[in-house]
């Protein structure tokens, strides 16, 4: 038997490589699921030809098509900022996956401040969106970028506050620690508060990712594609489609970790413990993705000022109240 | 920050007030409400808070304009200060073209004006010729004309239902509407052979009788639409976000609508209680029982509500017309060569989008001497600046969508 000894650095490198492969593939699969779920909700079939069976290779084919597209940079654009923006959007999304525990031991790095890292990194992408909108020298892109910035400020708070309540309950910021601290039944515990926190997190996450009904920054019927109006080819794919899908899956995974008990079985029953945590995690994340897409295709788009009102007058006060309730639960609850 | 920076390719920004002297800001939507308050207004007038206006050129190529329609919007942050519709990018000169063609050719040409309701466009020409030539149209043809015109109205309204929902970001209802349209489209195709440009109404009657099984097919299709309308209500009109986006948005006053000659669902949305089918019945509309839907506020929601409820009324008419379809010929006594005698006639009908008028002058030849067409979309679009003033960019899309215009109908 050959014994391979790897240094810590090498292990980290392998893990990073895995992330670099898994995330784009996951985004491709996510894109396919998006196509299919949307189509079936809308009485259509969706992609049916590419690759043979139910058009499984459609997103792959789209990706290849985009790779062959001309990379256009508008003459009046700020060229350096314009070309950098997609990377600034996509890389933070990749970094999100570093701290999400897929199983108790399957994690790139179990940071002690994992939750903090997630929240901090998760909002960096908005800078990329602002860069894209600003440097495009296009009015629609500018309006989209400004909307995106406003949205980030308004919706970061509910996410942070609901995550803070979870951290209070778990007593740790480490994501593995949070999953371990969660008891069955996950989202309805503590009674009422847990579910409210979960919904709050969902609303905030959808707004931060600019998914419909909060997709005002891209609002294709108003602003063409918002900040990405001038982008073509691979920059468009990485800045917009890939980042959007990968971000959605990442947030589904974060929601699973924080609220749905991560890699733990759905019910604490002895025979279910045999099934590996990775599978549980996958099932729960898929459910979250399904939920996000379901909402996405059901509702019309809000208006930016209505969205801000919703955030500042409803969600943020609510999240503060929930923090208070969580504190009271920890102090006086069972 | 400087709003100028992003102005870029689309055109130079306009400046107002002290311009470069004061600090430049881009307004947050929340702040726009503040701006209406007097304290803020006085600060602006003193030159301490000067905002830049930006000229936003919406169209001629823009997803929300469904065609080549241009809207010059002066915006302040996201608030629209002024908006000016620019039409004419699709002018094809139909009024001149028809002077070079004989009457039977015209039928096929004018169905391309408002491409969503082709058969409704053919109707006034046939009516005008019949009036000039004093042709008696047999009842079966009249009933079928009503049924097909109303089916086309349903097609048109469902199309605008879908485009409006797509513009508000709700993608799912879009495809629901297309599913229902397809059934009606199929029934109409079985009669006329066409999907958009039917060419079915002839002076004196119809091209040919309906095929076997058409009545059952059409009734089933229309009933399916009625059956599924509650789904639409659940998805859109009952939706809280939809209400927030449309209620009290883009209000068009009754007086303004009157003065611009706004008609159809948009006029009725502004409570102009006018429908040619009821007020001046042509064909056999006076024999059917239907209601004219009216809005009260003239906002986007009312216009949309009228549109959706007209589908129900049209379906009622189709059912009555097909149930009471008399037997008999489908063509009156028409001479082999259609030559209108010297004279002039004005015919108006209720197109799905409003009042369609044909003023036909004949010098006795095979070709019209002059045809002046009054299309509903042109008048309706003219009233846009009033509805658009002081709204937000997002509202602009909702208002454009709720004005239900077809570019071919605007420019002809």
pLDDT tens string A162-221: 888 888 888 888 888 888 877 767 666 677 788 888 888 888 888 888 787 888 777 777
| C-beta atoms of A42 and B165 within 8 A | no
| C-beta atoms of A213 and B241 within 8 A | yes
Give B169's contacts in chain A (Cβ within 8 Å).
Answer: 212-213, 215, 219, 221, 299-301
| C-beta atoms of A301 and B239 within 8 A | no
Surface-to-core class of residue B226, CB atoms within 10 Å of its CB (0-12 exposed, 13-18 middle, 19+ buried): middle
Domains of chain B in start order, with CATH, are 94-376 (1.10.645.10)
| C-beta atoms of B170 and A146 within 8 A | no
Nearest CB to B171 within list A42, A139, A141: A42
Contact A128, A168 (CB under 8 A): no
Nearest CB to B169 within list A42, A133, A213: A213
Question: CA B362 to CA B343: how far, in whole Å?
Answer: 5
A40 to chain B, closest Cα gap in Å: 10
| C-beta atoms of A222 and B397 within 8 A | yes
Question: CA B206 to CA B218: how far, in whole Å?
Answer: 18
pLDDT score of B42: 52
Give A76's contacts in chain B (Cβ within 8 Å).
Answer: 8-9
| C-beta atoms of B169 and A215 within 8 A | yes
Say which DSSP state A230 is in: T
Across the range B256-267, mean pLDDT stands at 88
CA distances, B369 to each of B80, B104, B347 (Å): 44, 15, 16
Instruction: State yes or no: pLDDT of A70 exceeds 50.
Output: yes
Instruction: State yes or no: pLDDT of A2 exceeds 70.
Output: no
Crossing angle of the two packed helices A193-208 and A316-332, in degrees rounded to 10: 150
Instruction: State yes or no: pLDDT of B45 exceeds 80.
Output: no
> CB-based contacts of B401: which residues, under 8 Å, 6+ apart?
B64, B160, B163, B164, B167, B168, B300
Question: CA B396 to CA B240: how far, in whole Å?
Answer: 19
Q: A217, A223, A303: best mutation site toward chain B, by most B Cβ within 10 Å? A: A303
Give B245's contacts in chain A (Cβ within 8 Å).
Answer: 300-303, 306
Q: A79, A229, A300, A311: best mutation site toward chain B, by most B Cβ within 10 Å? A: A300
| C-beta atoms of B3 and A133 within 8 A | no
User: How are beta strands B79-86 and B354-362 bridged, if at all?
Assistant: unpaired
| C-beta atoms of B244 and A76 within 8 A | no
| C-beta atoms of A38 and B5 within 8 A | no
| pLDDT band, very low/low/confident/very high, at B41 (cuts 50, 70, 90) | low
Instruction: State yes or no: pLDDT of B38 exceeds 70.
Output: no
Instruction: State yes or no: pLDDT of B23 exceeds 60.
Output: no
For residue range A73-111, what is the model confidence (pLDDT) as tens digits? Answer: 888 888 888 888 888 888 888 888 888 888 777 777 777
Give A44's contacts in chain B (Cβ within 8 Å).
Answer: 175
B166 to chain A, closest Cα gap in Å: 8
Give A41's contacts in chain B (Cβ within 8 Å).
Answer: 172
Lowest mean pLDDT among B26-35, B47-56, B271-280: B26-35
Nearest CB to B64 within list A41, A221, A309: A221
Across the range B299-324, mean pLDDT stands at 88
Instruction: State yes or no: pLDDT of B327 exceeds 70.
Output: yes
**What backbone torsions phi and psi does residue B83 show, to the nearest 5 degrees?**
-140, 135
Instruction: State yes or no: pLDDT of B17 exceeds 60.
Output: no
Share above pLDDT 70 across residues of chain A, in percent, rounded to a whole number? 97
| C-beta atoms of A308 and B395 within 8 A | no
Give A134's contacts in chain B (Cβ within 8 Å).
Answer: 5-6
Report residue A102 as tokens: 């897929």
Nearest CB to A304 within list B33, B78, B396: B78
Give B8's contacts in chain A (Cβ within 8 Å).
Answer: 74, 76, 136-139
Q: Hey, which residues 271-310 in chain A have their CB within 8 Å of chain B?
A: 297-306, 308-309
Q: What is the mean pLDDT of chain B?
A: 80
The secondary structure element, H or E, covering residue B128 is helix B118-133
Report residue B283 as tokens: 């064909």
| pLDDT band, very low/low/confident/very high, at B6 (cuts 50, 70, 90) | very low
Surface-to-core class of residue A332, CB atoms within 10 Å of its CB (0-12 exposed, 13-18 middle, 19+ buried): exposed
| pLDDT band, very low/low/confident/very high, at A6 (cuts 50, 70, 90) | confident
Nearest CB to B241 within list A41, A219, A299: A299
Question: CA A89 to CA A244: how far, in whole Å?
Answer: 9
User: How are beta strands B50-51 and B24-25 bridged, if at all?
Assistant: parallel
For residue range A44-66, what is the model confidence (pLDDT) as tens digits? Answer: 888 888 888 888 888 888 888 88
> CB-based contacts of A253: which residues, under 8 Å, 6+ apart?
A97, A100, A281, A285, A288
Instruction: State yes or no: pLDDT of A42 exceeds 60.
Output: yes
A46 in contact with B, Cβ within 8 Å: no
Give A136's contacts in chain B (Cβ within 8 Å).
Answer: 6, 8
pLDDT score of B20: 35
CB pairs under 8 A between A and B: 119
Q: A135, A139, A141: best mutation site toward chain B, by most B Cβ within 10 Å? A: A139
Give B5's contacts in chain A (Cβ within 8 Å).
Answer: 134, 137, 142
Crossing angle of the two packed helices B139-167 and B300-323, in degrees rounded to 10: 150
Residues of B contacting chain A (CB within 8 angstroms): 3, 5-10, 26, 28-30, 32-33, 54, 56, 62-64, 78, 165-172, 174-176, 179, 235-236, 239, 241-242, 244-245, 392-397
A150 in contact with B, Cβ within 8 Å: yes
For residue range B96-143, what is the model confidence (pLDDT) as tens digits? Answer: 888 888 888 888 888 888 888 888 888 888 888 888 888 888 888 889
| pLDDT band, very low/low/confident/very high, at B16 (cuts 50, 70, 90) | very low
Nearest CB to A150 within list B28, B33, B62: B28
Contact B34, B40 (CB under 8 A): yes
Instruction: State yes or no: pLDDT of B32 exceeds 80.
Output: no
A80 in contact with B, Cβ within 8 Å: no
| C-beta atoms of A134 and B170 within 8 A | no
Question: CA A238 to CA A246: how far, in whole Å?
Answer: 10
């Amino acid at each position: 038997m050959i014994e391979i000894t790897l240094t810590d650095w090498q292990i980290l490198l392998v893990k990073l490589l895995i992330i670099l492969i898994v995330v784009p593939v996951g985004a491709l699969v996510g894109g396919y699921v998006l196509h299919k779920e949307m189509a079936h909700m809308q009485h259509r079939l969706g992609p049916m030809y590419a690759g043979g069976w139910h058009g499984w290779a459609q997103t792959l084919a789209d990706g290849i098509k985009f790779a062959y597209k001309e990379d256009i940079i508008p003459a009046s654009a700020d060229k350096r900022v314009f070309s950098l923006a997609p990377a600034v959007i996509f890389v933070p999304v990749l970094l999100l996956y570093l701290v999400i525990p897929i199983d108790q031991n399957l994690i790139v790095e179990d940071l002690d401040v994992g939750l903090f890292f997630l929240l901090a990194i998760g909002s960096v992408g908005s800078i990329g969106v602002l860069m894209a909108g600003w440097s495009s020298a296009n009015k629609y892109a500018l309006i989209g970028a400004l909307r995106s910035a406003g949205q980030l400020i308004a919706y970061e708070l509910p996410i942070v506050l609901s995550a803070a309540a979870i951290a209070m309950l778990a007593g740790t910021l480490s994501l593995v620690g949070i999953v371990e601290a969660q008891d069955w039944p996950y989202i309805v515990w503590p009674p009422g508060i847990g579910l409210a926190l979960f919904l709050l997190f969902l609303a905030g996450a959808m707004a931060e990712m600019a998914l419909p009904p909060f997709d005002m920054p891209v609002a294709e019927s108003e602003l063409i594609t918002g900040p990405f109006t001038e982008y073509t080819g691979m920059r468009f794919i990485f800045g917009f489609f890939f980042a959007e899908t990968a971000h959605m899956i990442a947030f589904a995974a974060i929601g699973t970790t924080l609220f749905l008990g991560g890699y733990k079985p759905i019910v604490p029953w002895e025979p279910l413990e045999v099934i590996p945590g990775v599978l549980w995690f996958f099932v729960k994340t898929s459910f979250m993705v399904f939920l996000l897409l379901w909402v996405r295709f059901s509702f019309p788009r809000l208006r930016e000022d209505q969205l801000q009102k919703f955030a500042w007058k409803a969600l943020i006060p609510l999240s503060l109240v929930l923090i208070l309730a969580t504190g009271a639960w920890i102090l006086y609850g069972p | 920050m400087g709003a100028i920076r992003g102005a870029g390719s689309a055109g130079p920004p306009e400046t107002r007030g002290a311009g470069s002297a004061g600090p430049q800001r881009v307004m947050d939507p929340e702040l726009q409400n503040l701006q209406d308050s007097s304290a803020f207004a006085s600060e602006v007038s003193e030159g301490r808070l000067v905002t830049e206006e930006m000229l936003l050129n919406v169209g001629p190529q823009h997803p929300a304009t469904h065609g080549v329609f241009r809207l010059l919007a002066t915006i302040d942050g996201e608030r629209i200060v002024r908006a000016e519709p620019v039409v004419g990018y699709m002018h094809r000169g139909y009024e001149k073209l028809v002077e070079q063609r004989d009457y039977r050719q015209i039928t096929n040409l004018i169905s391309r004006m408002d491409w969503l309701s082709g058969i409704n466009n053919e109707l006034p020409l046939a009516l005008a010729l019949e009036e000039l030539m004093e042709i008696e149209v047999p009842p079966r043809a009249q009933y079928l004309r009503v049924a097909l015109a109303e089916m086309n109205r349903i097609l048109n309204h469902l199309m605008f239902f879908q485009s409006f929902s797509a513009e508000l970001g709700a993608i799912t209802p879009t495809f629901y509407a297309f599913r229902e349209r397809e059934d009606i489209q199929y029934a109409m195709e079985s009669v006329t052979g066409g999907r958009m440009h039917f060419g079915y109404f002839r002076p004196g009657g119809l091209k040919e009788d309906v095929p076997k099984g058409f009545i059952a097919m059409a009734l089933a299709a229309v009933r399916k639409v009625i059956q599924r309308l509650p789904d639409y209500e659940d998805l859109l009109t009952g939706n809280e976000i939809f209400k927030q986006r449309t209620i009290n948005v883009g209000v068009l006053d009754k007086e303004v609508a009157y003065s611009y000659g706004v008609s159809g669902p948009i006029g009725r949305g502004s409570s102009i209680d006018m429908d040619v089918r009821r007020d001046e019945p042509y064909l056999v509309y006076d024999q059917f029982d239907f209601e004219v839907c009216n809005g009260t506020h003239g906002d986007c929601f009312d216009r949309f509500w009228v549109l959706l409820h007209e589908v129900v009324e049209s379906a009622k008419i189709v059912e009555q017309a097909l149930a009471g379809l008399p037997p008999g010929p489908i063509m009156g006594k028409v001479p082999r060569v259609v030559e209108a005698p010297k004279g002039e006639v004005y015919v108006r009908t209720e197109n799905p989008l409003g009042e369609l008028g044909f003023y036909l002058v004949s010098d006795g030849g095979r070709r019209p001497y002059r045809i002046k067409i009054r299309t509903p979309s042109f008048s309706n679009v003219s009233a846009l600046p009033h509805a658009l003033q002081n709204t937000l960019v997002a509202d602009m899309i909702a208002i454009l969508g709720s004005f239900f215009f077809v570019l071919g109908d605007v420019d002809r």
